[in-house]
Structure 1
Amino acid sequence: MGSAVERTDEHVREYLLYRGFTNTLKNLDSEIKADKDKGFRVDKIIDQLLQFIHGFDLSGLKDYWLYLDRRLFCRLEDVYRSTVNKLRASLYRYYVINTIQKGNLEKTQEFFQKQAIELQGQAEWRDWFILPFIPAPEQNPAFAPYFSRQWSDTFLVSLHNFLSVLFQCMHILPFDAEVQKTTSLTEENEQLRQLVFALQTESRDQKAGDEAVHHKLPLYVQNMDRLGDTELDLVSSQRAVSVVTTPSRNFFSTFLPQGRRTPGGKAHQGTSVSSPSQAAVGRKDQPTSQVTMSNTLDAVFQEKKGEVAEAEPPNETSVEAPDSSPSYGRSGGGGAEEGVGLAAEQPFIKLSQEEYGEHHSSIMHCRVDCSGRRVASLDVDGVIKVWSFNPIMQTKATIMSKSPLLSLEWATKPDRLLLLGSGVGTVRLYDTEAKKNLYEMNIDETHPRILSLACSPSGSSFVCSAAAVHRSGLAEPAHRLPTQVSGQLLLWDTKTVKQQLQFSLEPEPVAINCTAFNHNGNLLVTGAADGVIRLFDMQQYESAMSWRAHDGEVYSVEFSYDENTVFSVGEDGKFIQWNIHRCGVKQSEQVLPQDATGPFVLSGYSGYKQVQVPRGRLFTFDSEGQHVLTCSSSGGIIYKLTNGDPALESLLSLGGHKAPVVTVDWWSALDCGTCLTASMDGKIKLSTLLAQKS
Structure 2
Amino acid sequence: MVDKIIDQLQQFVQSFDLAGLKEYWLYLDKRLFSRLEDVYRSTVNKLRISLYRYYIINTVQKGNLEKTQEFFQKQASELQGQAEWRDWFILPFISSPEQNSAFCQYFSRQWSDTFLVSLHNFLSVLFQCMHILDFDAEVQKMTCLMEENEQLRQLLFALQTESRDQRDRDEMIHHKLPTYVQNMDRLGDTELEPVSSQSQLSTNQSGNQNSRHKRIQDHEKERKELFSKPPPQTSEKKGELGEVEPPIESSSEPTDSSNSRSCGASQEEPPFIKLSQEEYGEHHSSIMHCRVDCSGRRVASLDVDGVIKVWSFNPIMQTKATIMSKSPLMSLEWATKPDRLLLLGSGVGTVRLYDTEAKKNLYEMNIDEAHPRILSLACSPSGSSFVCSAAAHSRSGSGESAPRLPITVSGQLLLWDTKTVKQQLQFSLEPEPVAINCTAFNHNGNLLVTGAADGVIRLFDMQRYESAMSWRAHDGEVYSVEFSYDENTVFSIGEDGKFIQWNIHRCGVKQSEQILPQDATGPFVLSGYSGYKQVQVPRGRLFTFDSEGQHVLTCSSSGGLIYRLASGESALERVLSLGGHKAPVVTVDWCSAVDCGTCLTASMDGKIKLSTLLAQKS
TM-score, normalised to structure 1's length? 0.58
**Alignment partner, residue 313 of structure 1:** 238
Instruction: Look up the match of 2:36.
Output: 30
- For residues 607-622 of structure 1, the aligned pairs below 5 Å read 607-622=531-546
- The equivalent residue for 1:667 is 591
Pair 1:264–1:361, CA change in 2 (3 A) = farther
Cα-to-partner distance string for 1:424-481 (whole Å, 9 max, x where unaligned): 0000001111111111101000000000000000111000000000235x89979631
Q: For residues 616 and 35 of structure 1, do their structure 2 counterparts lie closer, same or farther at Cα, with a shift above 3 Å needed?
A: same
Aligned equivalent of 2:419: 495
Match of 1:409 among 320, 333, 342: 333
Structure 2 counterpart SS, 1:606: helix
3-state SS, counterpart of residue 302 of structure 2 = strand
Percent of aligned positions that are identical? 75
Mark the structure with the bigger radius of gyration: 2
Q: How far 1:643 moved relative to its partner?
A: 1.3
Deviations 1:350-376 (A, max 9, x none): 111111111111000000000111110
Q: CA deviation at 1:258?
A: 5.2
Correspondences of 1:48-87 after superposition (within 5 Å): none
Deviation at 1:221, TM superposition (A): 1.9
Equivalent of 1:555, from 466, 473, 479?
479
Counterpart residue number, 1:360: 284
- Pairwise mapping of residues 201-220 of structure 1 onto structure 2 (< 5 A)? 212=176, 218-220=178-180
1:639 and 1:652 in contact (8 A); partners too:
yes
Give me the whole-angstrom Cα distance separating, in 1, the residues matched to 2:552 and 2:278: 21
Residue 534, structure 1, aligned to residue 434, structure 2: no
Deviation, 1:263, is 7.4
Helix, strand or coil at the partner of 2:200: coil
Distance 2:183 2:478 in 1: 30
**TM-fit CA distance, 1:379:** 0.5
Alignment equivalent of 2:241, drawn from 320, 325, 328:
328
- 2:232 equivalent to 1:246: no
Instruction: Supply the AA of the counterpart residue of 2:36.
Output: S
* C-alpha spacing 1:499/1:380, structure 2 compared with 1 (3 Å): same
- The count of corresponding residues between Structure 1 and Structure 2 is 451
Contact 2:247 2:574 in 1 (8 A): no
> Match for 2:226 among 239, 244, 265?
265
| 2:422 is the alignment partner of 1:509 | no
Give the residue type in structure 2 aligned to 1:597: T
Q: From the superposition, tell whether residues 35 and 685 of structure 1 become closer, same or farther in structure 2 (CA, over 3 Å).
A: same
For the Cα contact (< 8 Å) 2:524–2:586, is it kept in 1? yes
Cα–Cα, structure 1 residues 683 and 115, in superposed 2: closer, same or farther, change >3 Å? Answer: same
Structure 1 residues 26 and 393, CA, compared in 2 at 3 Å: closer, same or farther?
farther
CA contact (8 A) 1:664 1:675 kept: yes
What's the secondary structure of 2:505's corresponding residue?
coil
Write the distance in 2 (CA, Å) between the matches of 1:116 and 1:646: 94
Measured against aligned partners, the alpha-carbon deviations of 1:508-557 in whole angstroms (never above 9, x if no partner) come to 00000000000010000000000000000111000000000000000000
* Structure 2 match to 1:656: 580
SS of the counterpart of 2:463? coil
**SS of structure 1 residue aligned to 2:364:** strand
1:183 aligned partner? none
Alignment partners' CA distance in 1, 2:447 and 2:32: 50
1:360–1:681: 8 Å Cα contact kept in structure 2?
Answer: yes
Secondary structure, in 3 states, of the residue corresponding to 2:241? coil
1:7 maps to which residue? none
Q: Structure 1 residues 360, 505: closer, same or farther in 2, change over 3 A?
A: same
Question: Which whole-Å CA distance do the structure 2 matches of 1:637 and 1:399 have between them?
Answer: 30
What SS class does the counterpart of residue 514 from structure 1 fall into?
strand
CA RMSD after TM alignment: 4.3
Q: Distance in 1 between matches of 2:562 and 2:411?
A: 34
Q: Highest relative contact order (Cα 8 Å, sep 6+), 1 or 2? A: 2
Shift of 1:261: 8.1
Change (3 A) 1:657 1:221: same
CA apart distance, 1:246 = 1.4
Q: Which ranges in structure 1 are unaligned for 5 or more consecutive residues?
A: 1-23, 37-65, 72-84, 96-106, 118-192, 231-238, 269-308, 315-326
SS of residue paired to 2:284: coil
Q: Tell me: CA distance 1:346–1:471, structure 2 relative to 1, closer, same or farther (3 Å).
A: closer
Pairing partner for 1:687 from 606, 611, 615: 611
User: Do 1:639 and 1:649's aligned partners in 2 also have CA atoms closer than 8 Å?
Assistant: yes
Alignment of structure 1 residues 42-53 onto 2, 5 Å? none
Contact preservation (8 Å) 1:503, 1:542: yes
Partner of 1:14: none
State the 4+ residue runs in structure 1 displaced beyond 4 angstroms.
24-29, 31-36, 113-117, 239-245, 248-255, 257-264, 309-312, 335-343, 474-479
2:502 corresponding residue in structure 1: 578
- TM-aligned CA distance change 1:27 to 1:536, over 3 Å: farther
Residue 26 of structure 1 and its aligned partner are, at CA, apart by 8.8
